[in-house]
Amino acid sequence: MADLEGEELKKHVKERQAIFVEILSKTYDRAAAYTNVVLIGGYAAAFTIWSNTKMFLPKSATLWTGGLLLLSLSAFVFFEVIKMVLNAKLFLSMYSLALSEQEPVAFERKVKEAQLAEQRLSVVMVRWWILTLIICVPSALVSLFILIVSYATAIYRLE
């Protein structure tokens, strides 16, 4: 009887873990999409301002700003390319599963396995996404700080 309770408990814990992984996966997808929009808009604005006004900046500020923006953008693009490749690989395996002819029970099991693999990939990507943000955000913010200080210094010298 104790074994049965232990097995039921294990099953219950696995079900809860699956629910948690699904929630975490969906939360990551939404947060990543929002962050991507903000980062892309920020990069577009920062590079536009920097490239159109760098002739008014000291050479060191121009180089530091460009270098930090490039570091930030490179980390972001690298992460997105890796994510794209992993998602494409997952999509291809799901596509081949969709085209396969299997018994309904085996097909359903394979679908659940594929869904779990997708969710696990999202959980792993969360760690890399956080690392990417740790690189992207500070380097971009420091580059913007350099721009602001350089502009303020240039304006002060004009007066």
More confident residue, 56 or 64: 64
Pairs from 128-136 (Cβ < 8 Å, separation ≥ 24): 128/79, 128/82, 129/28, 129/32, 129/35, 129/79, 132/75, 132/76, 132/78, 132/79, 133/35, 135/71, 135/72, 135/75, 136/39, 136/72, 136/73, 136/75, 136/76
74-121 pLDDT, tens digit per residue, is 999 999 999 889 888 888 887 787 777 878 788 788 878 887 888 788
24-61 pLDDT, tens digit per residue, is 667 777 777 887 888 889 899 999 999 999 898 999 99
Predicted TM-score (pTM) of the model is 0.71
Share of the chain above pLDDT 90, in %: 36
Task: Report domain extents, the chain.
Answer: 2-158
Does residue 72 contact residue 136 with C-beta atoms inside 8 Å?
Answer: yes
